[in-house]
Chains A and B, each alone.
Chain A
Amino acid sequence: MTTLDHADAARTGARPGPPGAGAAAPQGRRRSGRRLSVRSRWELALLLTPALVLFVLFVLVSIAAAVYYSFFDWNGFGPPTRLVGFANYTKALADPMFQGAVRHNLQFAALSVVVQLPLTLGLALLLNGRFRGRAVLRLIAFTPYVLSEAITAVAWLVMLQPGGAVDEGLRSVGLDGLVHEWLADQHLVLYTLFVVATWKYIGFGVILFLAGLQGVPAELREAAALDGATQWQTTRKIVLPLLGPTIRIWIFLSVIGSLQLFELVWIMTLGGPAGSSATMATYVIDRGFRRYQFGYGSAVAVLLFAVCFVFALLYQRFALRRDTAGALSGRVD
């Protein structure tokens, strides 16, 4: 129950220790002295080797190989031979298409924090508390999150066709002026994709926040109410601060998800029209996989890694530190 107890602690606003710390500190056997018996060594090897082999091979080796390939001009046929140093990196950074892709990822991340977060939080605050149909709501709101992005993308692709369901829906309520070429308009396409992504992920956010809200003690609110606090003051000064850890995790997930955005875009627009919805990930696949520029694609993949990695470390360092200290950085003894 530890993990979930941690989650529970997060909800009550207590600072949860890092997984594996505090009450749940991994205990070696108390009898374990400095030396392991031969038998224990064998057991350890047996337990750890399969996971390590799989992990090292597919995660670490593939990343290391990408770094290696990124220094070559390589079309993928035969072994890479034309060493070009950092040329792939400088080329990528100078390419307006790639710059555009980075900008789109950042726009997406900013939009989710500025638009999705208040929306999600607001809905969760409204929905907090017990009411008839709560279980059904939870079930329905979570559904899009369970469906694959591919299915989401195909469904919305059909609905957003010119003269399709969305257009007809708008016309039927007299909003003809709002009808647009949702996926063909260069200035609009990113926002269209953002709306689709919001549809898919808002239910998850609402349920995450509802879970967090369950941990805000009713006594605190009642005390605040007795002291004459208005509903708004209670929300602002008591509920939101206690919800802090959940909000910070939501932002983390949301930004990382925005930086890696691929499937919705790939299926709905292939990054088009004219690269106006390209993201870093679609750029990697387009150049590396479709155009056989494997060296160049690897370099862009490494850049994408770097962006996500730096964000995760900085966020971990400055925002999440108090909530999940050690979850990623490990607990160094």
Chain B
Amino acid sequence: MALIAPRRASAPGRRPGTPLSTAARYLAALAVVGVTAVPLLFVVLGGFRTNAQINAHPTGWPHPWVFANYTRILGSSSFWRFLFNSTVIAVTATALTVVLGAMAAYALSRYAFRGREGLYTLFAVGLLFPLGVASLPVYLLLRQLHLLETWYGVALPQAAFGLPVTIVVLRPFMAAIPGEIEDAAAVDGCTRLGFFWRILLPLARPALVTVAVLAFLGSWNGYQLPLLVFNDQSHFTLPLGVATFQSQYSQDTASILAFTALSMLPALAFFVFAERRIVGGMTGAVKG
């Protein structure tokens, strides 16, 4: 948040803390880190062990380190196919959500027309219907439309259900850009669509990044809809692939852990890369 919001409030750290409160603070920090990191470490390290090692001592250290689990999964085509499917779906869903959402938010923020507030309300009410609740109805609709087993059968509904939050976040942002800028652009011969494309979108970039991150993570981590849409394993996304792998090879714990660890990597990489945006976006967006 610090990046985005001016830190006008406070710096509680200036207050010299008592040694006791400092100790408590570090203890709390340690607890959070430990509780969070230990399961993740278990998964990653477990991937470097054999099943015999894991069965003998579930929590032990790899001894010796075994790379076979990871190399086998990295050498299999299914992991890469899941990764590819997830990427195609998440990129499509994100692009659709952001592009269509930005267009609609522009119309709803900078054009005056009858029914505008009603239309906005319609989209905003969509916030109350998350995809998780609607997956069975969406599945039946997709079946009707012959969209099962297709990647857009997942991407299109994800984009549709992502539109409400996108529009709710973008509209006030776009509305706040001063009318003088638009007037100046008009004087210079810019059409309203030209203004949208060449001036408004670049100005709205921080908000666009926020909604794009939300849409991408939502799609990337989706499990319920792909579960219903895909039956053919070659279409599976990463979350679906991990869960299926676990149930198919439930005895091969080491491979499951290696597969799980590798599946975490893309999301973790994305997170490290866009940490400020994600944390800022999530904590900012949910407070609307």
Contact = CB atoms under 8 A, between A and B. Distances in A.
Interface residues on B, range: 35 or more
Interface in A166-192: 167-169, 172
Most buried by B among A26, A217, A284: A26
B59 A304 contact: no
A54 B286 contact: no
Given A19-B172, A130-B11, A148-B221, A69 B132 contact: no
B5 A8 contact: yes
Contact of B242 (A1, A150, A260): A150
A242 B215 CA distance: 30
A3 B29 contact: no
Interface in B166-187: 167-169, 171-173, 175-176, 179, 182
Given A55-B123, A216-B9, A137 B140 contact: no
Interface residues of A, number: 135
Given A20-B172, A308-B133, A61 B279 contact: no
A36 B192 CA distance: 13
A164 interface: yes
Contacts of B59: 165, 168-169, 172
B143 to A, nearest CB: 8
A139 B272 contact: yes
Contacts of B123: 51, 55
A135 B39 CA distance: 21
Contacts, number: 404
B12 A267 contact: no
A4 B284 contact: yes
Most buried by B among A133, A146, A324: A146
Interface string B5-30: 11111111111010001101111110
A113 interface: no
Contacts of B279: 138, 142, 207
Contact of A26 (B108, B227, B243): B108
A275 interface: no
Interface string A128-162: 11110100111111111111111101111111010
Interface string A180-224: 000000000000000000010011101110010111111101100
Contact of A330 (B121, B156, B172): B121
Contact of A50 (B103, B136, B164, B256): B103
Contact of A63 (B46, B117, B129, B246): B129
B46 to A, nearest CB: 8
B239 A27 contact: no
A329 B104 contact: no
B267 interface: yes
A309 interface: yes
Given A59-B126, A218-B11, A165 B285 contact: no
A304 B129 CA distance: 10
A294 B144 CA distance: 13
B163 A51 contact: yes
A218 B15 contact: yes
Most buried by A among B27, B124, B287: B287
B interface: dominant SS: helix
Contact of A143 (B36, B103, B118): B36
B193 A43 contact: yes
Contacts of B27: 126
B266 to A, nearest CB: 10
A2 B173 contact: yes
A298 interface: yes
Contacts of B121: 329-330, 332
Contacts of A260: 130, 132-133
A271 interface: no
Contacts of A284: 135-136
A27 B110 contact: yes
Contacts of B256: 154, 158
A48 B104 contact: yes
Contacts of A330: 117-118, 120-121, 124-125
A144 B267 CA distance: 10
A159 B160 contact: no
A165 to B, nearest CB: 4
Contact of B168 (A5, A19, A142, A222): A19
B260 A155 contact: yes
A289 B136 contact: yes
B130 to A, nearest CB: 6
B218 to A, nearest CB: 10
A218 B9 CA distance: 7
A324 B288 contact: yes
Interface string B207-229: 10010000001001111100110
A263 B288 contact: no
> 9 nearest interchain CB pairs?
A28-B112, A330-B121, A130-B13, A150-B239, A148-B221, A58-B160, A218-B10, A66-B137, A126-B28
Given A54-B96, A301-B136, 19 more contacts: A2-B175, A2-B176, A3-B172, A20-B175, A27-B112, A29-B112, A47-B103, A47-B106, A61-B141, A63-B129, A76-B143, A130-B11, A148-B221, A150-B223, A158-B253, A216-B12, A219-B10, A285-B228, A329-B121
